[in-house]
Amino acid sequence: MIEDKNQQRTQLNDLGEFGLIDHLTKNFEAKHKSTIKGIGDDAAVIDNVDKQIVVTTDLLVEGVHFDLSYAPLKHLGYKAVIVNLSDVYAMNAEATQITVSIAVSNRFPLEALEELYSGIETASKVYNVDVVGGDTTSSTSGLLISVTAIGEVKSNDVVYRNGAKPNDLLVVTGDLGGAYMGLQVLEREKEVFKVNPNNQPDLDAYTYIMERQLKPEARKDIVKLLKDMEVKPTAMIDISDGLSSEILHICKASKVGCDLYEDKIPLDPQVISTCEEFNLDSTMIALNGGEDYELLMTVSQDDYPKIKANPNLTVIGFMTEENAGANLVTRAETKVPLQAQGWKNFSD
Amino acid sequence: MIEDKNQQRTQLNDLGEFGLIDHLTKNFEAKHKSTIKGIGDDAAVIDNVDKQIVVTTDLLVEGVHFDLSYAPLKHLGYKAVIVNLSDVYAMNAEATQITVSIAVSNRFPLEALEELYSGIETASKVYNVDVVGGDTTSSTSGLLISVTAIGEVKSNDVVYRNGAKPNDLLVVTGDLGGAYMGLQVLEREKEVFKVNPNNQPDLDAYTYIMERQLKPEARKDIVKLLKDMEVKPTAMIDISDGLSSEILHICKASKVGCDLYEDKIPLDPQVISTCEEFNLDSTMIALNGGEDYELLMTVSQDDYPKIKANPNLTVIGFMTEENAGANLVTRAETKVPLQAQGWKNFSD
């Protein structure tokens, strides 16, 4: 929230469309042997020998998905890539290529877009994906980022949402609710800043949850872990809209029910303490907060010995017959039907 | 430009994100056997056995690329697909799948998006591509459409921009300048309409060029024609920014020069007559107008006997050594260096 008055401002008009995309992507090198041709022709050319490809796309819109008053552009570029890679990993696939398109108004100088693209470049390096195409155009207002991610997977390895069976274990990676509580802290600090711009906030108590919001990671490591453990989930989905919504997606697609145990939901201590501070119920936040980009999967009971000791995986319930419905089993041992709220509605 | 005051308006908020995408894509059926999984999971799954895939993406932004005061939403949906397919065909590939994402403000009722998607559906049927994914989100202003197109091609068949050689023939499909002159007519009618909304314009003299602007087609037929004729171009690109700009792309990528003959540039009689009416030079319009979505290719002289009689293909010049530069040979037989303007700058 500190503005450097001396920062360099190069007008986008000075570059033109071709100059801009050349400039922004000049450091991007193809690393995958499947990338036959990247940026610089009418289309990219990819050769995924003997594998199926997966394709997913997401839009991030200023004022809807992010607020530039607290989201640094570098982190935003990183996050725009991560939210798409997360969908690829949720298919049990390896992400290999992305395209990145942006629509941007003239209020952004070139240096701002360089920041954005440096985050995109960092993500592409960390996750080993090639940036193979994209489009830059002007917008009448604000910034919009559209990313398409491509991955590859052997046809026997792909995991859909629709393979869960009754008695399968419901398993989640990492912990939940952090990204949403990070957003609450950032929104509060924004209000404080408006009142007193000289206030220097002490945010040490919130570093983990703020990073979960501003610079999330996608669980590439889990796809490798599952392969190493020789576990193929029966269904998998990434948690972008909240645990509750994602469980219901699997239940609907797989025609099963579910018992989710409240006391098994993994929560970071910072999420619990911040929920107390904001007077929010941490279970509700984990169920509906969204944007955690963890993976939710169902696993056959036969595979329980393989997964039980792994600190990345938490068994939080099991699947039931469809007519039993999708339920939360509370700490008081009552059953409450799960409802899909999704973070967008939740934050209204 | 005629508004139906009784039209139905369903608020987008009533549906929610998942309801909206389900509703808009419910008629979309996968037709390609390579489409293993379309809409409805974290990502689409595609199996292009033994072929390379090509990927391309484009953004269309309201107020920048289209004006809803004269572009019907159905045509806009159609055009958003076509501009991407055109890039796939420019690789000499077959288009097989697309993803479509939209960001839309609440001023659009559901019925407007249904119109848009009916155009997308029509294009996907006419061009035989599967809609396999996408994202819908709200925007703070206006409409934005992001399409990613995927195609397949045998590795020996792919045509890049960089294969042109000196003495190759420069060949273009169809005719040029129509889309730009159609835009001029539409802009003029919009101004007339502002002054007198009851004026009923007689646009019969402009039907071809208006259709070139509002509902362009991509040259899928040319990819098939080239295969049937057993001609593989040495380089190919689609004409989105204007003939001049595209020739320079090929020259730069292939490290060659070019002599383009003014008197060979194919023009429709409606383009010529409308240019006269607007007091514009038709050669300038063909060179810089853009949005024609024809294909520009270079072909070995050895293939001349195969292409010479085909009404879809016009030889407009030939490639030269790089140091000779890219030139227009005028009717007066003087050489003028080609300049890249592109329609965006041109229309400023």
Least confident among A17-31, A183-197, B91-105, B239-253: A17-31
Among residues A174, A91, A66, A81, the alpha carbon closest in space to that of A126 is found at A81
In the three-class reduction of DSSP (H, G, I as helix; E, B as strand; rest coil), residue A200 is classed as coil
Measured from the Cβ of residue B253, the count of other Cβ atoms closer than 10 Å reads: 17
Q: What percent of chain B has pLDDT over 70?
A: 93
Q: What is the pLDDT of residue B7?
A: 59
- Does A27 have pLDDT greater than 80? no
Q: What is the pLDDT of residue B16?
A: 62
Q: How confident is the model at residue A33 (pLDDT cuts 50, 70, 90)?
A: confident
Q: Give A269→chain B minimum CA distance, Å.
A: 30
A106 — contact with chain B (CB < 8 Å)? Answer: no
Q: What is the pLDDT of residue A17?
A: 58
- Taking an 8 Å cut-off on Cβ atoms, the answer to whether B47 and A90 are in contact is no
Separation CA A155–CA A206 (nearest Å): 42
Write out pLDDT tens, residues B154-193: 989 999 999 999 999 999 999 999 999 999 999 999 988 8
Query: Do residues A294 and A174 touch, judged by C-beta distance below 8 A?
Result: yes
Q: How confident is the model at residue A15 (pLDDT cuts 50, 70, 90)?
A: low
A201 — contact with chain B (CB < 8 Å)? Answer: no
Q: Dihedrals φ, ψ of B53, to 5°? A: -110, 150
The arithmetic mean of pLDDT across residues A120-140, rounded, is 91
Structure tokens at B62: 């309201």
Q: How confident is the model at residue A331 (pLDDT cuts 50, 70, 90)?
A: very high
The arithmetic mean of pLDDT across residues B112-135, rounded, is 92
Nearest to B43 among A56, A99, A135 (CB): A56
Query: Do residues A219 and A294 touch, judged by C-beta distance below 8 A?
Result: yes
Least confident among A92-101, A124-133, B29-38: B29-38
The arithmetic mean of pLDDT across residues A146-155, rounded, is 94
- Taking an 8 Å cut-off on Cβ atoms, the answer to whether B45 and A158 are in contact is yes
Query: Do residues A173 and A295 touch, judged by C-beta distance below 8 A?
Result: yes
Query: Do residues A167 and A301 touch, judged by C-beta distance below 8 A?
Result: yes
- Does A18 have pLDDT greater than 70? no
A142 — contact with chain B (CB < 8 Å)? Answer: yes
Nearest to B133 among A55, A86, A342 (CB): A55
Residues of B in contact with A294 (CB under 8 A): none
- Taking an 8 Å cut-off on Cβ atoms, the answer to whether B43 and A65 are in contact is no
- Does B14 have pLDDT greater than 60? yes
The CA-based diameter of chain B, rounded to the nearest angstrom, is 65
In the three-class reduction of DSSP (H, G, I as helix; E, B as strand; rest coil), residue B117 is classed as helix
A347 — contact with chain B (CB < 8 Å)? Answer: no
Mean of the per-residue pLDDT values for chain A? 90
Q: How many CB pairs under 8 A join A and B?
A: 200
Domains identified in chain A and CATH numbers: 12-153 (3.30.1330.10), 169-346 (3.90.650.10)
Q: What is the pLDDT of residue B332?
A: 94
Q: Give B67→chain A minimum CA distance, Å.
A: 12
Residues of A in contact with B150 (CB under 8 A): 55
Give 3-state DSSP helix, strand, coil % of chain A, rounded to 5: 40, 25, 40
Residues of B in contact with A142 (CB under 8 A): 140-141
Q: What is the pLDDT of residue B110?
A: 86
The arithmetic mean of pLDDT across residues A77-106, rounded, is 94
Separation CA A217–CA A231 (nearest Å): 22
DSSP result, A325-337? -EEEE-TTS-EEE
The arithmetic mean of pLDDT across residues B271-281, rounded, is 97
Q: Give A306→chain B minimum CA distance, Å.
A: 25
List Cβ neighbours of B301 (8 Å cut-off, separation of 6 or more).
Answer: B167, B168, B169
Q: What is the pLDDT of residue A196?
A: 85
Q: Give B35→chain A minimum CA distance, Å.
A: 10
- Does B293 have pLDDT greater than 60? yes
Q: What is the pLDDT of residue A44?
A: 86
Query: Do residues B57 and A135 touch, judged by C-beta distance below 8 A?
Result: yes
Q: Give B326→chain A minimum CA distance, Å.
A: 18
- Does B306 have pLDDT greater than 70? yes
Q: What is the pLDDT of residue A345?
A: 35
- Does A170 have pLDDT greater than 70? yes
Q: What is the pLDDT of residue A39?
A: 79
- Does A12 have pLDDT greater than 60? yes
- Does A135 have pLDDT greater than 70? yes
List Cβ neighbours of A343 (8 Å cut-off, separation of 6 or more).
Answer: A180, A241, A242, A288, A289, A290, A291
Looking at per-residue pLDDT, the higher value among B141 and A139 belongs to A139
Q: What is the pLDDT of residue A14?
A: 67
Q: What is the pLDDT of residue A275?
A: 97
Q: What is the pLDDT of residue B141?
A: 79
Q: Which residues in B82-108 are b (16+ Cβ under 10 Å) and which e?
A: bbbbbbbbbbbbbbbbbbbbbbbeeeb
- Does B348 have pLDDT greater than 50? no
Q: How confident is the model at residue B1 (pLDDT cuts 50, 70, 90)?
A: very low
The arithmetic mean of pLDDT across residues B257-271, rounded, is 98
Separation CA B103–CA A149 (nearest Å): 18
In the three-class reduction of DSSP (H, G, I as helix; E, B as strand; rest coil), residue A113 is classed as helix
Q: What is the pLDDT of residue B344?
A: 43
Write out pLDDT tens, residues A289-324: 999 999 999 999 999 999 999 999 999 999 999 999
- Does A9 have pLDDT greater than 80? no
Our CA angle for A286, A288, A294, nearest 5°, is: 60
- Does A86 have pLDDT greater than 90? yes
* Predicted TM-score of the model (pTM): 0.90
A42 — contact with chain B (CB < 8 Å)? Answer: yes
User: In chain B, where does DSSP find H-type helix?
Assistant: 16-24, 73-89, 110-126, 178-195, 207-214, 220-229, 243-254, 269-277, 282-288, 304-307, 342-346
B339 — contact with chain A (CB < 8 Å)? Answer: no
Mean of the per-residue pLDDT values for chain B? 90
Nearest to A99 among B48, B97, B148 (CB): B148
Q: What is the pLDDT of residue B18?
A: 58
The residue type at A263: D
Query: Do residues B150 and B46 touch, judged by C-beta distance below 8 A?
Result: yes
Q: How confident is the model at residue B212 (pLDDT cuts 50, 70, 90)?
A: very high
List Cβ neighbours of B346 (8 Å cut-off, separation of 6 or more).
Answer: B180, B242, B288, B289, B290
Mutate to test the interface with A, among B55, B61, B84, B254 (most CBs of A within 10 A): B55
Query: Do residues B96 and B150 touch, judged by C-beta distance below 8 A?
Result: yes
The arithmetic mean of pLDDT across residues A206-218, rounded, is 96
Q: Is A287 exposed, middle or buried (CB count within 10 Å of its CB: 0-12, 13-18, 19+)?
A: buried
Write out pLDDT tens, residues A259-290: 999 999 999 999 999 999 999 999 999 999 99
Nearest to B42 among A16, A146, A238 (CB): A238
Pairing of strands A256-261, A326-329: parallel
List Cβ neighbours of B325 (8 Å cut-off, separation of 6 or more).
Answer: B257, B337
Which residues in chain B (305-324) have CB-CB distances under 8 A to chain A? none
Q: How confident is the model at residue B2 (pLDDT cuts 50, 70, 90)?
A: very low
Looking at per-residue pLDDT, the higher value among B14 and B110 belongs to B110
In chain B, the residue whose alpha carbon lies closest to the alpha carbon of A49 is B50
Q: Dihedrals φ, ψ of A29, to 5°? A: -115, 140
Q: What is the pLDDT of residue A7?
A: 59
Residues of B in contact with A95 (CB under 8 A): none
What is the ipTM, given to two decimal places? 0.87
B98 — contact with chain A (CB < 8 Å)? Answer: no
Query: Do residues A319 and A165 touch, judged by C-beta distance below 8 A?
Result: yes
Pairing of strands A169-173, B143-153: unpaired
